[in-house]
Each structure stands twice: as C-alpha cells, then as structure tokens.
Structure 1
C-alpha cells in the first residue's frame, strides 16, 4: 500500500487535561480540527460521552455544527452518536439539518454502547431495555427517516424528518466486535472498527463485514476504517511519559472507577502487581506509540492486517502542543 493511498482521520474525544477546564478542552478540539483540515486529513469525528470529568464531548451534533463552520474541506462526523440514548427521529433531524448546512461533508457514525455507565444511560433514556432487536429497529427507522422511505402501514410512512434535504449524511456503524459489523453489512453502512477498544479479532470482523456486505442506497461497496490510539514524537522521554500515562489510564478505565484527568507526575511512582502488568501488556495492543520511523512501520503493519487504507487516530496527551505535533508528524509520513 503506497503512502499516496493512505487516508488519515481523527477521532477526538475532547479530553480534559489536568489543570484545564472543559471549555478549554472544547476549544482545543476546535483548534485541532482546523489543523487537521489544513494538513489534509480526511475526517474529523467527535464522540459522545456522559458523566465524566475527563472528556468534554457530550453532544457531537452540536460540536459538529461549530467545527464545520470553522473548517473548509475535512469531513465532520460523529464517532459516534450513541443511538440507544436517543430517538431515531431526533437523530435523523439533527443530521438532516447538518447536511442542509454543510452538504456532502457530514458523517453519521452510530454506536450501540451508551458512552457512559448504565445508571446514567437509564437517565438519558429511561425506556432503553438494551435489547439487540431494539437497536436494529432504530437503525432501520433512522435509515427510513433519512430517505423518506417508511414502509406502508408503518409510523415512518406518516412522519417526515425535517428539514428536507437533497443529500444524506454518510452512515457508519462503530464496532468493537463482529456483531456490529454484521449489522453494518446488513444495512449497507460503513464500518469503523475500534481497535483502541478491542485489539483482538478486528481483521477477522472486518473481513466478515466485507463478505456479507449488502449494497444499499447509501453505499454500493464496503467502506472501512480502523481507529486506534496513536502517539508520535521525536523525543524519547516524551514517548516514555506518554506510554506510562496511557498504561495507567486504561487500567483506571478497566477498574470501573471514574476517569479523571491525570499527568505523568501523578503516576510515575505507581507500582503494578502481576495481574495489573498483564493487563498493561494487553492494553498496549490498543495503541501505537513511537518515533516517526518506528511508528510508520507499526501503522503500515496494522493497515495491512486490516486491509484498509484509512487510519483514524485517537490521541490524548498531557500537553496540547504534543497532541498537535503528533498529528503533524503523522501527516508528514503519509500526506506529503
């Protein structure tokens, strides 16, 4: 796969760095979107999370609106809207409005997870029963609303999602397992595999998606990208600190406690037991970290394993300048 065929994209979670307000975290997301646009990145997706002080992105549809107005060429989207938290009609109207405002530049990435704990999810949508069939019905309803294609006798036939739009946002399903990939294949949507959530079985899940893909009015052929934690620096000390912080952060997440902003100095003296070290070794598969020459080899191997040409980088750092520099170094590798 030649460098010229590689596409780079960003999945940004609006991380709140230690000592920084949520407002500043959102402004950093805005600044990063402008930089990614200028560097030639393909997409910039923002996430939906709730009940955490470590991430500031709770309403991707609102943030996308602002980002699209601040950029010129890059595609803006959700990575993703957590569909069980919302009504299909409201999601359709949100993204129809975005498509009217910024035609051809909007991605609608959808997830099945709540983006939070179960208690918060039950408050976001008290009727959520966590049933697979409910999610499938929501996907079907959403597609019908976006295409004005409700079947005769159904409620979707009687309701129009407004505003009416000449184009439809590109629809993607976020997946960290084979199950969501099957849903994406069935509905003819794109598939974004979250390697940063599950580093095992991704290439196999993507191949099953390709094999079972059913062409749709939205996509005539399979479309896949892979998202993974990425950090690039020319400074070995910064790389060491970043790795240590991410090791701790993933353990923090797995232990079920609330995520909170941390810095290297907070965790540099932490000693891990054997079980924790085993989890650290596993979690390091969820991210690619290194100097440009080392990292490029890792990325090339990952993309070859998945047989995809689009990498979606998730980068959270202690300093905002380090985050920017990492994306700049990636662009220098592939977007010359």
Structure 2
C-alpha cells in the first residue's frame, strides 16, 4: 500500500461558475481556494485554459498564475494547462520566463495539445492553427531552446531571445488523457500528468510507458508523473449523493453537445435517463472519486497504487463554495500532507 505520509496532493482549478454566481465571483473563489490550499500544505495549484463557455471562467492561466503567486506563500503555481495550439511558442516562453523572474522556483508550465474549446473558437484564437501533431512537436523543441538559449546557429530561433533572460526554468509538464502525449513527455524529458478526470481508461498503462521510455533532459533527470481526477469529499452522505447526481447530468449534458451551463441539484433531481445515457453515467462515474473521508482515503490510495504515483491532483466542483473548501480540508486531513 502507498505510504500515505509521502503522498502529495495538488489542485487543478477551472474557476467554475456556480449557479447564481458571476464569473467575477468564480475567479475570486479560485483566489480564496489557492490561499486556503497553500495554508493546508498542498503541493501545487494549477489553473486551466477554457474558452467560449459560461460555466468555467478560467481562460488565461498565465494572467491568473501571476496574481495567485502573489497571494500565496509556498504552493507551486502553474497552468493545467496552456493549450499550445492556441499560442505562439515565443509568447508562452516569455510569459513563463517573466513568471519565473517574479516567483523563481515556484512556477509550473503544464501544456496540452487540445485547444480547450470548440474548433470554431480555436480557429479564431489562432487562425493559423492546423491541429497538427508535427506543429506541436516543433513547439516543444522551440520552447526548450527559448528557455535555455540553445537554438542551433543560423536558425530563426537562434536570432531571437525570450525575455526576460533568467536563470531558472519553470517545471514543464505535458497533460494528456491519452498515451500519445506521455510518449512526447518521455522523449522531451518533461513531467507527465494524466487526465483521469477526462479519460478513466488506460491511464496506468500510459504512465508506465512514459516511465519506460523516459529520456533525461537538462530540466528533469528522472520521470515524474501525477494524475488529475474529479474528487468530492464530505462527511454528509446526502451532499455526496447530490454532488454525484449533478456530475452525472453535467457529463450527459456535455456529451449531447449542449455545452455546459451552471447547475444545481434542484435542476437535475427529477431527471430521467435513457438506457444508453445510464451506460454513459456508469462509465463517467469512473472519472469521479466521491465519499466520506475514510472511504475516499482508501479509494484514492488504490488509484495512486494503480498508477504508481505519489501525487494526485484533485479537481473539485461543488454547488456550494464552502463544500468545495471542506472537501480539500478533508483530503489534507486524511493524507497528512506536509511540505
């Protein structure tokens, strides 16, 4: 069984917009959550990039990270992630070099290959986006050159310096819900974060393959992996039941192509589902870990063992902000996390 005393717990926050609340409130709740989990001893706090949705307010992680790092003391701050197809590689390098200049040794650059939105919005964010795997690979190569000023003489990259030029480099992670990015992370010597909250199948195998094929880099000498998943912990069984009902409906809503809108239990308590939808609910429940503190400790420990990791990243969306805070408190108490 995993040694719980060395388990690292971290946070991925998407700035969810609760029903009846504004986007401004959602962002402020992210700030309060970062400060709270910093006090609790969480290891890192990542914020996401999503576009063209009314249910998530997190669109620009590089901006939010700067504010959160200034509001906290020791927790690592990072992106979960920057969606690279939407951005110029040079601009990403300069954003995160600036963050390193202000908060050296506390910044993570988590990156994804997906746009974090629909194709139409992605085409507006970056009109030259070809959704090409080769383009993504070239971005990874260029990014490492920009951070280390190692571009080959005679290339365009060698003529351009990412400023400010600082001595430290953010931790670089590739985020994925498939094994492909794990192979990229292994090749480039980056950390690998598997998004179990998106895809609950095949994760342990992807992490294992990443470890087996890992090539040490200037930034990371041995493989480092973690797993992100939806988590909700409460000492109130009824709240756990209601939370699961809302999450069930959110997944079905999204899969029907209707996007996501803020929901409460009253909106879904009388919902009925087709046989096909019931099968999807059964599948999607694998993405979510819920329970009372004693139960959730066992569930998360088993999952960590399956993945062979010592860091879990909790994504918690709750109808009530106080319940969100309490869930993270229960987790920290259960795993005795310390920095």
TM-score higher than 0.5 here? Answer: yes
Distance 1:257 1:265 in 2: 19
Let me know the Cα RMSD of the aligned residues: 0.6
Which residue in 2 is equivalent to 1:246?
247
Give the aligned partner of residue 318 of structure 1. Answer: 319
* Distance in 2 (alpha carbons) for counterparts of 1:186 and 1:154: 22
Q: Determine the C-alpha separation between the residues in 1 that align with 2:336 and 2:49.
A: 28
- The DSSP-based 3-state class of the residue aligned with 1:231 is strand
- Tell me which residue corresponds to 1:222: 223
Paired position in structure 1 for 2:212: 211
**Deviation for aligned residue 1:164:** 0.6
Matched, 1:267 2:268: yes
Q: Distance in 2 between matches of 1:253 and 1:166?
A: 43
Q: Distance in 2 between matches of 1:320 and 1:121?
A: 31
Instruction: Determine the C-alpha separation between the residues in 1 that align with 2:187 and 2:155.
Output: 21
Partner Cα distance (1:313, 1:227) in 2: 6
State yes or no: 1:129 paired with 2:130.
yes
Q: Please show how residues 1-336 of structure 1 align to structure 2 within 5 Å.
A: 1-335=2-336
> Matched residues in 2 for 1:335 and 1:85: separation?
39
Aligned partner of residue 163 in structure 2, secondary structure: coil
TM-score (norm 2): 0.98
Asked whether the equivalents of residues 40 and 335 of structure 1 are also in contact (C-alpha less than 8 Å), the reply is no
Q: Quote how far apart the aligned CAs of 1:335 are.
A: 2.3
Out of 164-173 and 146-155, give the one that drifted further.
Answer: 146-155
Q: Distance between the aligned counterparts of 2:121 and 2:61, measured in 1?
A: 17
**2-structure distance, mates of 1:281, 1:162:** 49
Any unmatched runs of 5+ in structure 2?
Answer: none
Q: Which runs of 5+ in 1 are unaligned?
A: none
| TM-score of the aligned structures, taking structure 1 as reference length | 0.99
Instruction: Tell me if the contact between 1:39 and 1:335 (Cα under 8 Å) persists in the aligned partners.
Output: no
Given that 1:108 and 1:169 are in contact with CA atoms closer than 8 Å, whether structure 2 keeps it comes out as yes
User: How far did 1:253 drift?
Assistant: 1.4
Aligned residues: 336
The whole-number CA distance in structure 2 between the counterparts of 1:112 and 1:132 is 8
Distance 1:260 1:300 in 2: 32
Instruction: Report the Cα distance in structure 2 between the residues aligned to 1:163 and 1:268, rounded to whole angstroms.
Output: 53
**Alpha-carbon deviation of 1:261?**
0.3
State the shift of 1:273 in Å. Answer: 0.6
SS at match of 2:161: coil
Cα distance in 2 between the residues matched to 1:254 and 1:214: 37
**Contact 1:85-1:125 at 8 Å conserved across structures:** yes
